[in-house]
Amino acid sequence: MKIKFLLTALLCSVIGFAQSVNDYKAVIIPLKYDFIKKENEYRLATLTKSNLTKAGFTAFYTTEELPAGYNDRCGLLYIDVKKDNAFLVTKLFVQLKDCFGRVVYTSEVGKSREKDYEVAYREALENAFTSVIALKYKYSGNAPVTPAQAVTAATLPAAASTSVQTSVAPAPVANMSDPNLLYAQPTENGYQLIDKTPKVVIKLLKTSRPDSFIAIKDGIQGSLNAKDNQWYFEYYQNDKLVSEKVSVKF
């Protein structure tokens, strides 16, 4: 019990201290946010990329093939725009999350009293980005701390450290030439894996392990697990375990 408490305390303190937007190399932008119905509706994705560039970030859409040097998913931030429901006022704010869906930065709330949706959303988003631009982002070149790294780096008894290290499988490296490659797009509770069309193929829900997710595909619920440098979607069919290899770019 004491070791578990120590692990938790050290993990929180190390990650909380180490994470900064300057430690991340680029930002990934979804084409659709929860409060709009269509991809790039009101050109909000375009406006997001424009403002990120203005703020000094390198930014890519989720559907873009990333250039060399940007293939470490945990070296990137994932942006989301949230709507705060309010009467007669449109309120939006920006969140930057890491590869595990943890919020690294939340902007100030941008507001608009315009009645037209397109004008209101665009004005509110521009206003929200004022605080993002004020960060004066500059890539530090420092790799962000992941949960496994934080625990390993902490001063723990050797047995406890070894146990943590061997319990999590290393993240598989995506094969960018695979025609069936799926791209991970962060959601509120995990990720959705999309193909190049883009179409949502698998929905993932986070668990306590970064190498295992609850997975839902075509109405079938199973799990997505990292094994032997590959991801596998596993589920039961007629009391028999089925394991399907899945190529994923996180």
Sign of CA dihedral 132, 37, 197, 43: negative
**Per-residue pLDDT, 19:** 63
**Per-residue pLDDT, 154:** 45
Q: Specify the residue for token string 């943590």.
A: 164
Q: Sketch out the chain's domains with CATH numbers.
A: 20-133 (3.40.50), 182-249 (no CATH)
pLDDT in tens, 77-130: 999 999 998 888 999 999 999 887 888 999 999 999 999 999 999 999 999 999
Which whole number is the average pLDDT over 41-60? 96
DSSP 91-160: EEEEEEE-TTS-EEEEPPPEEE--SSHHHHHHHHHHHHHHHHHTT------PPPPPHHHHHHHS---HHH
Element (H, E) at 234: strand 230-237
Calculate the average pLDDT of the chain: 83
DSSP 59-70: EEETTSPPPTT-
- Which residues have C-beta within 8 Å of that of residue 55, sequence separation ≥ 6? 129, 132, 133, 135, 137
pLDDT in tens, 119-172: 999 999 999 999 999 999 999 888 776 544 444 444 444 444 444 444 566 778
Q: Specify the residue for token string 């390198």.
A: 58
pLDDT band with cut points at 50, 70 and 90 for residue 176: confident
